Chain A
């Protein structure tokens, strides 16, 4: 993939995440007090509200892509070499996939009531 496409994804995920994280944070502090919003029942209710669950999934994907691409950028600027750069790229992709899978599992199972 051309670097310009990767970086356009980097900027796009950043913009998307800014909007969605703002909504996520506002949910914590506007609906009820911050402490109450973290109570088990309220959190479960949040997950079961499908649009919110979809938004959480989107945030997870956007931030994982943005974060691990940022890490890749930092790492390939620190050290160079064909095999090292390949390892960094695939390592970051794998870590991103694992994080998305792990987070999605929480969102999916909780929203389906399997807790």
Chain B
């Protein structure tokens, strides 16, 4: 008989509340990745309209150059910047860079890998994403 493994499931995996900013960044990385993939597919479909001539391209532009379209594009800018900056942090971390050096642990056992550098990088990626979104808004709505 297969035993119930009592897995926490998607709810537990996605719950960013209990384990600090690192878990939030894990969750944001996934969400932004999925969002960007959806945008990539949409963008490729959107640009393929150029094959059907100027009128189809212009009507597609009209469809996307709306307030909702600009808001979506601003979100995409934010997702892209966060995914990039946090992705670089993760890539370096995965190579063992910036995760601290092994030592003899002492009570209260603060883990070296959860260091301030990493936390600051996560906050910075959120901050830079917010700035890029503001710049995006100014370009998109500033015309």
Contacts and interface: CB of A to CB of B under 8 A. Distances in A.
Given A14-B87, A67-B33, A74-B30, A102 B40 contact: no
A34 B143 contact: yes
Contacts of A64: 40
Given A33-B143, A40-B58, A71 B51 contact: no
Interface residues of A, number: 32
Contacts of B10: 78
B140 interface: yes
Contact of B50 (A43, A63, A99): A43
B50 to A, nearest CB: 6
Interface stretch (B15-23, B41-49, B103-111, B113-121): B41-49
A15 B36 CA distance: 16
A102 B143 contact: no
Nearest to B83: A14
11 contacts: A21-B80, A34-B140, A43-B50, A67-B37, A68-B37, A99-B41, A106-B50, A106-B51, A110-B51, A115-B50, A115-B52
